[in-house]
């Protein structure tokens, strides 16, 4: 009997929890499985670091809520308790008390009195009291943080003109003003190398004590030492069974960095890591992204463990190996074509564990390291995470979205049959070929299109992909199952660009983001240019708008025509034409259609944000205690996983 995999776990507030499969894990060798296991343990041990980075009361609040959740004997079916549960689930999801994306503090759906009752209902011994702290002390300290909207209201404040450090709740500075912090790091930057500057301040908390500015460095023996020691223990085990010398060196340098906190060692590690492209298993573990610091310096802790998706990477390799053929046959003027073109072979990976700032909400692509000088001298490593995209796609099936917006059964069937394949393929063509195709005429400034440059560039890459999706070459290369498949992407692209991407825009606003402008530009232009021949039309049925494509082959011709024009604009640096194209087609929103789309979307009750629970890895041993296998299972629930992590990896 075929086992069905349930991609959706649960939904609350504005969040949906999914799970992902790890295809290919069973086929790894025992040694590789052990390597994944050790690196996964190293990933999970860092969980508390991020909670503390996101706000200095987060850990105590989480522990308080968990103690009540586990030990409360009262009625768990009341509306108040359910609101309490939702609040705890949101704290887990955000790694703190602020929304993971919007950064605003969320408002509990229960009162301070109710929380007081809950606290009184459990034994004092299970409460997370600080040294010498009474229950009353704890409540006096934490209640304003939880309930008062004025206290720590934003995790990261970006409002121009305010002191961004003092007004942000993130725990990267203490008793320090923005001016003082900036001055402190300006001195460091001036003293250090100008050509190969390390990322100053990325692994420390900046505090002022007795009038003195001081960095509390995140390293063994320093801040977060208890968690970092555990991480290093697992990394040592991983190092001992590394796949090759290069990977061994990568892990050694990372351990050295955690021991010393030396940022030059971190750069050495980053360079070794980006050059390791041969290992099957790869990982990130460290202080990486700086979005959580209003000054963009302090890096939040995160980890991912992954291995190469050989099958999907083969797909991008096939595309790249044919780069010259695609360039030669594109519909753009020969003057704008590259004589020799090299495709980029993007690596597709399978995630095995997500942690820190990549859990539960995660990225689907990674491009690291972040150091500017390393990127320009040594390059970077770019990957897309195939099994997470798959999980998003599968979970979206049957959620009612397509049924609401797609014109008829015919298009629904097209999407069900082909969309997963053609969507990935369009991304591959965009990334591996689109951006790298074409050339500027001699003397044309690469920045000639100014503010319209990125929209035009995305349109160029998208159109390159759209044009070739319908090409017989793709069937020949075995990248699509048949000559009909491209229609799925054409339909969903037009529907998205003309209508459904509007769900991400607030009423009354225009389209601002470059990728969204590009999609609307292409879809609107094709609608208008094909109007006479009725290639694409908007059909109104029972008061609802739908997109209908009447002539797919002719739509391809239009995409080719627009590709030629967009390439001309880019190659000649024709600013005026770029401006007109973007302003005429990419920016303005039909307010009536916008309202209609928002209302239809709202009725579907879909959660706009998603995150994942991890699989569980368990060691299998024989009678002598030797490990014989590592098993992966996918049955753990959301609260169950969070509570287990809090039990097993509570290091701070
Ligand atoms: Zn792009």
Note the pLDDT tens digit of each residue in 400-452. Answer: 999 999 999 999 999 999 999 999 999 999 988 998 899 999 999 888 999 89
| 500 and 642 co-located in one domain | no
| 513 and 637 co-located in one domain | no
| 97 and 127 co-located in one domain | yes
Q: Where are the alpha helices (DSSP H) in 261-354?
A: 263-275, 310-321, 323-329
Q: 340 CA distance to ligand 1 centroid (A)?
A: 21
Note the pLDDT tens digit of each residue in 117-155. Answer: 999 999 999 999 999 999 999 999 999 999 999 999 999
| Domain assignment present for 40 | yes
Note the pLDDT tens digit of each residue in 368-407. Answer: 999 989 988 888 888 889 999 999 988 988 899 999 999 9
| 454 and 570 co-located in one domain | yes
Q: Which of 462, 423, 424 is nearest to 559 (CA)?
A: 462
Give the pLDDT of residue 30. Answer: 98
Q: 435 CA distance to ligand 1 centroid (A)?
A: 7
| 20 and 143 co-located in one domain | yes
Q: 515 CA distance to ligand 1 centroid (A)?
A: 8
CA distance 147 to 109: 10
Q: How many structural domains are present in the chain?
A: 2
| Domain assignment present for 541 | yes
Give the pLDDT of residue 2. Answer: 44
| Domain assignment present for 195 | no
| 483 and 419 co-located in one domain | yes
Q: 460 CA distance to ligand 1 centroid (A)?
A: 9
Query: What is the DSSP code (8-state) at residue 587?
Result: I
Query: Where in the sequence is the domain holding 13, given as residue range(s)?
Result: 8-153+620-648
Q: 399 CA distance to ligand 1 centroid (A)?
A: 28
Q: 434 CA distance to ligand 1 centroid (A)?
A: 8
Q: 479 CA distance to ligand 1 centroid (A)?
A: 21
- Asked if the model's pLDDT at residue 347 lies above 90, the reply is no
| Domain assignment present for 272 | no
| Domain assignment present for 200 | no
| 579 and 631 co-located in one domain | no
Q: 172 CA distance to ligand 1 centroid (A)?
A: 33
Q: 376 CA distance to ligand 1 centroid (A)?
A: 19
Q: 429 CA distance to ligand 1 centroid (A)?
A: 10
| 28 and 125 co-located in one domain | yes
| Domain assignment present for 312 | no
| 515 and 640 co-located in one domain | no
What's the helix, strand, coil split of the chain in %, to 5?
A: 50, 15, 35
Note the pLDDT tens digit of each residue in 88-119. Answer: 999 999 999 999 988 999 999 999 999 999 99
- Asked if the model's pLDDT at residue 1 lies above 50, the reply is no
Q: Nearest-5° angle of CA 163, CA 168, CA 170?
A: 140
| Domain assignment present for 302 | no
Mean confidence (pLDDT) of the chain: 95
Per-residue confidence band for 3, with pLDDT thresholds at 50, 70 and 90:
low
DSSP notation for 560-575 = HHHHHHHHHHHHHT-H
Q: 458 CA distance to ligand 1 centroid (A)?
A: 5
| Domain assignment present for 427 | yes
| 584 and 638 co-located in one domain | no
| 104 and 137 co-located in one domain | yes
Q: Which has the minimum average pLDDT: 178-182, 410-414, 467-471, 506-510?
A: 506-510
| 636 and 550 co-located in one domain | no
Q: 438 CA distance to ligand 1 centroid (A)?
A: 15
Q: 431 CA distance to ligand 1 centroid (A)?
A: 6
């Amino acid at each position: 009997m075929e086992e069905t995999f349930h991609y959706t776990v649960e939904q609350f507030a504005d969040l949906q929890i999914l799970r992902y499969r790890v295809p290919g894990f069973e086929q790894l060798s025992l040694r590789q499985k052990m390597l994944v296991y050790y690196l996964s343990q190293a990933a999970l041990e860092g969980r508390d670091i991020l909670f503390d980075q996101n706000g200095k009361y987060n850990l105590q609040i989480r522990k308080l809520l968990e103690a009540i959740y586990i030990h409360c004997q009262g009625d768990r079916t009341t509306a108040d308790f359910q609101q309490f549960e939702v609040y705890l689930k949101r704290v887990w999801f955000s790694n703190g008390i602020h929304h993971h994306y919007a950064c605003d503090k969320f408002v509990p759906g229960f009162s301070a009195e109710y929380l007081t009752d809950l606290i009184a209902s459990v034994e004092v011994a299970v409460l997370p009291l600080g040294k010498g702290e009474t229950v009353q002390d704890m409540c006096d300290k934490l209640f304003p943080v939880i309930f008062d909207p004025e206290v720590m209201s934003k995790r990261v404040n970006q409002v121009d003109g305010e002191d961004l450090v003092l007004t942000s709740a993130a725990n990267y500075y203490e008793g320090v003003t923005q001016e003082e912090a900036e001055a402190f790091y300006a001195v460091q930057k001036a003293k250090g190398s100008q050509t190969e500057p390390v990322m100053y301040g990325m692994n420390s908390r900046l505090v002022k004590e007795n009038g003195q500015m001081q960095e509390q460095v995140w390293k063994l023996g320093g801040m977060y030492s208890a968690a970092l020691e555990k991480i290093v223990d697992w990394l040592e085990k991983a190092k001992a069974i590394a796949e090759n010398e290069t990977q061994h060196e990568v892990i050694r340098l990372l351990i050295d960095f955690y021991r010393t906190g030396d940022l030059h060692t971190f750069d050495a590690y980053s360079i070794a890591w980006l050059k390791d492209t041969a290992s099957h298993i790869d990982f990130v573990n460290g202080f990486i992204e700086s979005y959580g610091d209003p000054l963009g310096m302090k890096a939040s802790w995160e980890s991912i463990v992954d291995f190469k998706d050989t099958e999907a990477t083969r797909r991008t390799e096939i595309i790249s190996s044919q780069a010259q053929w695609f360039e030669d046959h594109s519909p753009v003027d020969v003057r704008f074509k590259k004589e020799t073109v090299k495709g980029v072979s993007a690596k597709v990976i399978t995630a095995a564990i997500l942690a820190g700032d990549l859990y539960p909400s995660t990225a689907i692509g990674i491009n690291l390291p972040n150091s500017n000088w390393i990127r320009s001298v040594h390059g970077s490593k770019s990957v897309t995470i195939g099994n997470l995209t798959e999980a998003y796609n599968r979970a979206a099936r049957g959620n009612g979205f397509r049924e609401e917006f797609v014109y008829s059964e015919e298009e629904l069937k097209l999407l069900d049959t082909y969309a997963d394949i053609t969507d990935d393929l369009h991304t591959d063509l965009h990334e591996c070929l689109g951006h790298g195709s074409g050339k500027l005429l001699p003397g044309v400034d690469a920045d000639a299109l100014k503010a319209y440059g990125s929209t035009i560039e995305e349109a160029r890459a998208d159109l390159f992909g759209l044009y070739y999706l319908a090409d017989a070459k793709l069937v020949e290369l075995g990248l699509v199952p048949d000559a009909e498949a491209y229609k799925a992407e054409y339909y969903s692209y037009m529907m998205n660009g003309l209508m459904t991407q509007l769900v991400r825009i607030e009423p009354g606003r225009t389209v601002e983001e470059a990728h969204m402008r590009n999609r609307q530009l292409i879809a609107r232009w094709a609608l208008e240019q094909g109007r006479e021949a009725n290639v694409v039309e908007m059909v109104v049925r029972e008061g609802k708008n739908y997109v209908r494509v009447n002539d797919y082959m002719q739509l391809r011709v239009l995409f080719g025509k627009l590709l030629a024009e967009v390439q001309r604009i880019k190659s000649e640096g024709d600013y005026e034409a770029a401006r007109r194209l973007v302003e005429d087609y990419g920016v303005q929103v039909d307010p009536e259609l916008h309202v209609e789309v928002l209302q239809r979307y709202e009725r579907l009750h879909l959660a706009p944000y998603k995150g994942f629970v991890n699989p569980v890895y368990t060691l299998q041993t024989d009678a002598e205690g030797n490990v014989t296998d590592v098993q992966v299972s996918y049955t753990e629930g959301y609260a169950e996983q969070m509570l287990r992590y809090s039990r097993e990896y509570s290091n701070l």
